Amino acid sequence: MEFAFTEEQVMIRDTAASFLADVSNSEAIREAMATEQGYSTALWQRICSELYFQAVTIPEEFGGMGLGYVELVAVMEQMGRYVVCAPYFSTVCLASSALLVAANEAQQATYFGKILDGGTATLAFTGNGQWHADGVTAEYRRDGEQFIVDGDYRYVIDGHTSDSLVIAAREQGGDKLALFVLPADTAGVERTWRPTLDQTRKQADIRCNGVVLSAENLMSDDAAEPLAKIVDLATVCLAAEQMGGSQQVLDMTVEYTKERVQFNRPVASFQAVKHQAADMMSRAEASRSGVYYAACIAQEALIDGPLGGELREAASIAKSFVSEAYFKNAGDALQLHGGVGFTWEYDVHLYFKRAKASEHYLGNAAYHRERLATLLLD
C-alpha cells in the first residue's frame, strides 16, 4: 500500500486548493450561507465544468475520471480547508458512492450522466438519527410491479435542492432494506429545508407520501450491507473534510497570533501560545495519517481488494479521532483569537460551527468508538 501521494494526486490536491482559495473566500461563504439554497449555482457549475471534480470517482465508461477514494479525499481535504458551500459532499460522497456500490449499469448511466452534466444528488436514509440500518424508518410495499414508499427522512444534506435522490426503505412487515434512486420531483416527495447550527451546509427533512416507484428505480432489495458500505465510504470523505478544516484553523490562528501584538511583542512569541499551537499541529497531523490510511482502505473496499474488509474499522478510527481533533482545534483557535473569533467579522466561528455539526453527522466519536469496541470484541 502506497502512503505517499503520486504526482497526479498532488496535482489534483494543489489544483483544488488554488481554485477553492480563490472562489470560497469569506465574502463568498457568507453570501451563500445566507440563502436557503446554501450555495452559489454559478460556483457549482464552475466546479463541474472547469475542474470536473464531480467526476472523480465516476468510472471512465460513463464519462468520469475513473479515479478513486484517495483522489476524492485529496479534494475533500481542500473542501474542508475553505468551508466550501457547494453540494459536493452530498452529490459525490453520498449519492455517487451509493450509485457505485448498489446501482445497476442502466441506473449508473442515467444518474452519473446527470451528475456529470452538473446535476446534484444526495442520499436519504435515517429517519431517527441513527447512522446505520436501524435508522431506516421509511417503509415500502409491493403493489404488482410497483413499489410504494412512505415515511420520513431527517438530516438529509442538500435534500431540499438536490435534483436526484437515493433513498433507503424497509420492507413493510419484513426485515429487508431496499435502495431506490429517483428524481427529486417525483410525485409524493415533500422536501423541507431544516435550519441548523452550521449555516454553511444545509440540511432538509424529506417525507414520502405514497411515492410510486418502478423496477427501474430499484437499486437493491437486499441493501443492508450495501448501505453500510456507502455510509462508511461517506464517513471517510467527511473525515477528510474535517481534517482539512482542522489544518486551516491552525494556519489561520498562527497567522493571527504573529500579527497581534501585546506588551510590545507578537502574541505568537509567548511560550503558552506556542505550546497550544503545537498541540493543534499534532492533532492535525495525526488526523492526516488516519484519514489517508482510511482512504486507501476505502478504495480497496470499492474494488473488493484484500484490505477492503477493514473499511468499517478504518472509517471509525478516522472519524472518531478527527471529530474530536477538529472541534478541539476550532475551540483553541477561538481562544487564541482572544475572543474576537466569536465575532461576525472573523471566520473562525464558521469553522467552529462546521466542526460541531460534522462531529455529529454520520456518528460522533463516542458512537464510532463503541462500534470499534464491538468489532474488536466480536
The shares of helix, strand and coil residues in the chain, as percent rounded to the nearest 5, are: 55, 15, 30
CA torsion, points 79, 85, 87, 93, in degrees to nearest 10? 20
> Coil, helix or strand for 140?
strand
Q: What is the pTM of this model?
A: 0.96
Q: Which residue type occupies 150?
A: D
Contacts with 18 (C-beta within 8 Å, 6 or more apart), sequence order: none
118-to-82, 87, 163, 284, 331 alpha-carbon distances in Å: 21, 10, 10, 33, 36
pLDDT of residue 93: 98
All domains in the chain, ordered by first residue: 7-120 (1.10.540.10), 122-221 (2.40.110.10), 224-377 (1.20.140.10)
62-to-102, 118, 211, 284, 293 alpha-carbon distances in Å: 16, 14, 29, 36, 28
pLDDT of residue 354: 97
- Distance, CA of 177 to CA of 126 (rounded, Å): 12
Task: Quote the crossing angle between the two packed helices 311-336 and 348-360, to the nearest 10°.
Answer: 150
pLDDT of residue 11: 95
pLDDT of residue 4: 81
pLDDT of residue 332: 95
- pLDDT tens-place values along the chain, 378 residues long: 557 889 999 999 999 999 999 999 999 999 999 999 999 999 999 999 999 999 999 999 999 999 999 999 999 999 999 999 999 999 999 999 999 999 999 999 999 999 999 999 999 999 999 999 999 999 999 999 999 999 999 999 999 999 999 999 999 988 899 999 999 999 999 999 999 999 999 999 999 999 999 999 999 999 999 999 999 999 999 999 999 999 999 999 999 999 999 899 999 999 999 999 999 999 999 999 999 999 999 999 999 899 999 999 999 999 999 999 999 999 999 999 987 877 888 899 999 999 999 999 999 999 999 999 999 887
Q: Tell me the pairing of strands 164-171 and 139-143.
A: parallel
| Number of Cα atoms under 13 Å in the Cβ half of residue 227 | 28
- Distance, CA of 124 to CA of 101 (rounded, Å): 15
pLDDT of residue 2: 57
Q: Phi/psi at 299 (nearest 5 deg)?
A: -65, -40
- Distance, CA of 153 to CA of 158 (rounded, Å): 12
* Residue 38: DSSP 8-state: -
pLDDT of residue 338: 85
- Distance, CA of 47 to CA of 63 (rounded, Å): 16
- Where helices occur in 224-347 by DSSP H, the ranges are 224-259, 271-302, 311-336
